[in-house]
Each structure stands twice: as C-alpha cells, then as structure tokens.
Chain A
Amino acid sequence: QTVVTQEPSFSVSPGGTVTLTCGLSSGSVSTNYYPSWYQQTPGQAPRTLIYSTSTRSSGVPDRFSGSILGNKAALTITGAQADDESDYYCVLYMGSGIWVFGGGTRLTVL
C-alpha cells in the first residue's frame, strides 16, 4: 500500500518563505511521478497550482514554485500572504491509471 506523505501542518510569517514536501512511504519521488499541487480553502473545490513537478497552472502567481528536493517533491511559497492560508495537497501518478493523494498540509500564516 503506497502512502504519500505530507506535513500535517505548517506555519509561516507574512512575507516569509515556506516549503511543503510530498514524499513516499517507500522510495523517492521523482519527476516520473508527475507531482502536482493543489490549494483548497474550506467549502471550495481545489485550485490547481503546480503540475508536472514545476509548471505553474494558468493564473498562479510566480511566488508559488515546485521542485524536487532530495527524495521529495516540494512546493515553495515565497512572500507568503494572508490569503495563502489554506490546505495544500500533492498527488502522485503511480502509473497504470492509479493516483495517490497526500494527506494534505494545513498552512497557517501568522
């Protein structure tokens, strides 16, 4: 059973930089998993931020960036703003039509 791991919670100061990660319970995340990232606020559908590791979706500000850091996928928010306070999810493509979401990270901006 593949588990995709994310930090349950994180906090950042306004204007600060934060890096959220997305790992595997066994093994390393690479670009071959096509990691993507989503932002969700309560009661709303997720918003697509990053796909294929590091490509920003249309309209996403460039203070959101994606990468591979070590053995994990990473989402970095530079210059955090109050309205970045949200839940963030990553998802990995396992191949053969199978996807696995991480448990999500609740980001607090304070």
Chain B
Amino acid sequence: EVQLVESGGGLIQPGGSLGLSCAASGFTVSNNYMSWVRQAPGKGLEWVSFIYSDGGTYYADSVKGRFTISRDNSKNTLYLQMNSLRAEDTAVYYCARNWNYAFYWGQGALVTVSS
C-alpha cells in the first residue's frame, strides 16, 4: 500500500527555521517525482516545491530562496527545510507523490508561524 506520513510540524517564531519530513512506503521516493503543497487556514491549495527523480528542484516564487526540498534515498524520505519563516507561511503542509501528472497525498502537517 502506498503511504506518505508527514512529521515535524509545530509552532515556530517568525524568522525561525523548521524542517518537515515525509516518510514514504509502498514505493521508492528516488524513482518518483515528489511535491510539497500547502494550505493556509481557510484558504486553497498552493504548490510549494517539486523534485524530479533526477534530483532537479523547483520552487514557488513565494518560498524561493527560503525553502529547500530534498530526499534521503536510504530512508525513503522526502524533506522540506523552511528558513526565514513568516506569518504567511502558516499552513498545513502536504507531501505528495506526483504520478502521471497527478498528486497523491499524505495526511498533512500543521506549521504555525507566530510569536
């Protein structure tokens, strides 16, 4: 069974850093395209970052230069390192497997940026 489990969310002060993890099972992260998508409270979905199977990475303008997507093939895990966090980064962050140009979702992790 394909499964994605996010962890690492929490409360962080503005300007701080936080890392999210997404443990995958049922498929190999390194052989797949993967994304992070977020949803601010009461708002719609926003694509954040994408990583190709060859390791190429892409970011939304809103997070470029502050967020880094990466993966650990030995742990079959996807990561999102978030630096210089702002109040507007407050959201549920979903890890997703991109298969056939679709998104298949984890359950999400809440990140709250507040003093």
A binds B: yes
Interface string of B84-112 (1 = CB under 8 A from A): 00000000001000001111111110000
Query: Chain A: which residue is nearest B58 at the CB level?
Result: A97
Contact of B44 among A51, A98, A102 (CB under 8 A): A102
Question: Which A3-26 residues sit within 8 Å CB-CB of chain B?
Answer: none
- Asked if B94 and A34 sit within 8 Å, CB to CB, the answer is no
- Asked if A93 and B45 sit within 8 Å, CB to CB, the answer is no
A22–B37 alpha-carbon span in the complex (Å)? 19
Interface string of B52-70 (1 = CB under 8 A from A): 1000111000000000000
- Asked if A89 and B45 sit within 8 Å, CB to CB, the answer is yes
A47–B105 alpha-carbon span in the complex (Å)? 8
Contact of B103 among A48, A98, A100, A104 (CB under 8 A): A48
- Asked if A98 and B102 sit within 8 Å, CB to CB, the answer is no
Query: Chain A: which residue is nearest B45 at the CB level?
Result: A101
Interface string of A79-94 (1 = CB under 8 A from B): 0000000010101010
Q: How many residues of B contact A (CB 8 A)?
A: 21
Contacts A45-B107, A45-B108, A96-B58 given; does A51 touch B47 at CB 8 Å:
no
- Asked if A36 and B102 sit within 8 Å, CB to CB, the answer is yes
Interface residues on A, range: 20 to 34
Residues of chain A contacted by B94 (CB below 8 angstroms): 45-46
Contact of A46 among B47, B58, B105 (CB under 8 A): B105
- Asked if A34 and B101 sit within 8 Å, CB to CB, the answer is yes
Query: Chain A: which residue is nearest B108 at the CB level?
Result: A45
- Asked if B104 and A97 sit within 8 Å, CB to CB, the answer is no
A47–B107 alpha-carbon span in the complex (Å)? 11
Nearest first, the 4 closest Cβ-Cβ pairs linking A and B are A97-B58, A51-B102, A34-B101, A99-B47
Spell out B's residues near A (CB within 8 Å).
35, 37, 44-47, 50, 52, 56-58, 94, 100-108
Q: A38-B45, A101-B47 are in contact. List 17 more A-B contacts (CB 8 A).
A: A36-B102, A36-B103, A45-B108, A46-B94, A46-B105, A48-B102, A48-B105, A51-B101, A57-B102, A89-B44, A91-B45, A98-B50, A98-B58, A99-B35, A99-B50, A101-B44, A103-B44
